[in-house]
Chains A and B, each alone.
Chain A
Amino acid sequence: MDWLFAYQPDLDAICIGSLYALSQFIALRAGLFSLGSAGFGSIGAYAAAIVGMRHGAPLPFALLLAVAVAVVSGLLLSVPLARLRGHFQAVATVAFVEIVVSLALYFDDLTGGPSGINGIPKLVGTGELLLALTGMMALCTITERTGIGRAFGAIRQDDLVARSLGISVVRYHRLAFALSAGIAGLAGGLAAFNTYTIEPEQFGFGLLTASLGAVILGGRGSVIGPVVGTAIFVLLPEVARPLSENRFLLQGAMLIVVITFLPRGIVDSLRDRRALARERRDSSPPLVAARSP
């Protein structure tokens, strides 16, 4: 069991990172080009830390508040941003992340300014994190399997067609914003009670890159992808110690290689390959020839 203990911080990091990645994942599923997860995470983390530390609220209440505040801000943000598409939406959500960072720096009597909030009790361990991750993976899977997921899929492929099928794109985009914000808010709240300290810059461009990168690396097709992507990002520098100084170089190179040669991510590409192999075994050759590119 000792080795598990030694890697516990990594496991915690994977759980929190995976939650952010799931938040990014659900946005992409609905065809949103939103990169706002880091901002929602910040809002959740500060909400939880402030009520938990200053007002002595119990952990479940603090986490619930983190999710609630994040969902509300997600819904508010969705009102203007659901009107934007593509690059415009991406730029606007990056601006949102930066606004959250600068406001957290500015209102220092509430947030502690640049030094952040320190000495937060560690109430969240690996068990709670695993529980939360499982719960959110289940939530995302359920969303995928129901009509919501099919509507998301239709909008992602072509929002004009979705509209012609009677799907309210605005309403589903709002829902996606709320889901994405809620998951990120939970991640932020859990992180606040897991890592003792939060500060504004930790929820900036770096976190945005990491959560988007994890989804792309792992795959956008199922909930496993974001988790696998995060695990690779966290574990690779640990497994290969000499590489740890070049962590970002490694991440960057992986992102370029994966998006170029496995554009659907590791998990989904493997799954495709297996499905293709199964088909090759089961069916007659001409069908395979028609299928392969």
Chain B
Amino acid sequence: MIAQQILNGLVVGAVYALFALGFTLVYGVQKILNLAHGGVFMWGALIGFFVVTKLDLPLWSALILGMTGAGLLGMGLELIAFRHLRRRKGDDLSTLVSSLGANLILVNMAQRVTNSQIESFPFGTFPIRIWRIAGIAISLQSIVILGCVVLLVAMLLLYLFRTHFGAAVRAVAVSERTSVFLGIAPGTVFLQTFFIAGALAGAAGVILGVAFNSVSYDMGEPMMLRAFVIIVLGGFGSVVGAVVAGLVLGVVQALSVALLSSALSDAIMFGVLILLLLAMPTGLFKGFDTEARRA
């Protein structure tokens, strides 16, 4: 029973991690709390849903198209909501407000497209197959989800720490000014990070939409709030921290929902967040600029 909850928690936590990775990457590179990340996630799920239902394409293409679409939305965010602000040297508050505004727009558009209904995938979109190993039910779905997340996280880490593009991203994260002297165009790097962040959120959206079989305009907000917990626990801007914290959050939440109640579980989760901010404001891992200097 407990082992089962832990497994379920790991699967959900892996998706949380995927979502929070983009959020923390944007924070790590540009020090923006992008509150529209939840909106991008929700649109990834919506695009995946329409690809399956309207275009009748298989699920894997929904994942790819959802990621691409959400990535492009992320780039749109950077161009519309953040680029001008950066030129005008906006402060913390102004980027936060701008992203809130962008999120309102994304949610409103989704409401129009779905008539504010909760959409669900047609039956049999994902084959149901369950194995029992040592009393634990393991579904094909959770294996595929874990596989997808591991693959995407590995690709992100390779990209950031083993490629030229990644080196440019890390250089900008450490110092935007210095990176300009090195011949890096920060604007391009910001567009790249927003595309990657959006694509990761989109992947999380499609996966969660299929896993819970529900896609709606308001699915971004609870994810956004969980990303707060993850970014605080893992360390603001830390990529490794986001993965670890996402998994921890998933397991803790699954256990506390099973043992307590879901409303109380939220209260405890956010209470722990405040305590963490006070006792350990840097989180478990140092931020992205420290990670960026390594490797």
Contacts and interface: CB of A to CB of B under 8 A. Distances in A.
B231 to A, nearest CB: 8
Query: A96, A98, A245 — which one has the most chain B CB atoms within 10 A of its CB?
Result: A98
B282 to A, nearest CB: 10
Nearest to B94: A259
B221 A252 contact: no
Contacts of A245: 112
Contact of B273 (A81, A95, A213): A95
A71 B82 CA distance: 36
Contacts of A261: 84
Interface in A40-86: 80-81, 83-84, 86
Contact of A80 (B92, B261, B264, B278): B278
A213 B274 contact: no
B85 A259 contact: yes
A252 B102 contact: yes
Contacts of A249: 104-105, 108-109
26 contacts: A28-B93, A33-B92, A33-B93, A81-B274, A83-B278, A88-B281, A92-B274, A95-B225, A95-B270, A96-B274, A102-B267, A212-B100, A216-B97, A246-B112, A248-B107, A249-B105, A251-B104, A252-B105, A254-B101, A255-B101, A256-B80, A259-B90, A259-B94, A260-B85, A260-B88, A260-B98
A213 B271 CA distance: 26
B81 interface: yes
A103 interface: yes
B98 A99 contact: no
A247 B94 CA distance: 21
Interface in A88-116: 88, 90-92, 94-96, 98-99, 101-103, 105-106
B1 to A, nearest CB: 24
B104 A102 contact: no
Contacts of B88: 260, 263
A118 interface: no
B277 interface: yes
Contacts of A259: 85, 90, 94, 97-98, 101
Contacts of A102: 263-264, 266-267, 270
Interface string A241-285: 000011111011111100111010000000000000000000000
A69 B16 CA distance: 36
Contacts of B232: 91
A205 interface: yes
Given A95-B273, A98-B267, A216-B97, 18 more contacts: A33-B92, A80-B274, A91-B33, A91-B228, A91-B232, A95-B274, A96-B274, A99-B266, A102-B270, A209-B100, A213-B101, A251-B104, A252-B105, A252-B108, A255-B104, A259-B85, A259-B90, A263-B90
B267 A99 contact: yes
Contacts of B109: 249
Contacts of B81: 256
B218 to A, nearest CB: 10
A87 interface: yes
A144 to B, nearest CB: 19
Interface in B89-121: 90, 92-94, 96-98, 100-105, 107-109, 111-112
A96 B111 CA distance: 28
Given A99-B271, A245-B112, A260-B88, A90 B96 contact: yes
Contacts of A92: 273-274, 277
Nearest to A106: B263
B236 interface: yes
Nearest to B27: A87
A81 B275 CA distance: 10
A209 B104 contact: yes
A90 B90 contact: no
A256 to B, nearest CB: 4
A83 B266 CA distance: 24
Nearest to B39: A252
Nearest to B265: A102
Contacts of B270: 95-96, 98-99, 102
Contacts of B105: 248-249, 252-253, 256
A246 B105 CA distance: 9
B93 A256 contact: no
A251 B231 CA distance: 28
Contacts of A205: 221, 225
Contact of B97 (A96, A98, A212, A253): A212
A103 B85 CA distance: 37
A92 B225 CA distance: 11
A103 B267 contact: yes
Nearest to A100: B267
Query: B104, B108, B261, B264 — which one has the most chain A CB atoms within 10 A of its CB?
Result: B104
A102 B33 CA distance: 23
A143 B93 CA distance: 23
Contacts of B273: 91-92, 95
Contacts of B229: 95
Closest 9 CB pairs of A and B: A255-B101, A252-B104, A248-B108, A252-B105, A249-B108, A102-B266, A95-B270, A106-B263, A252-B101
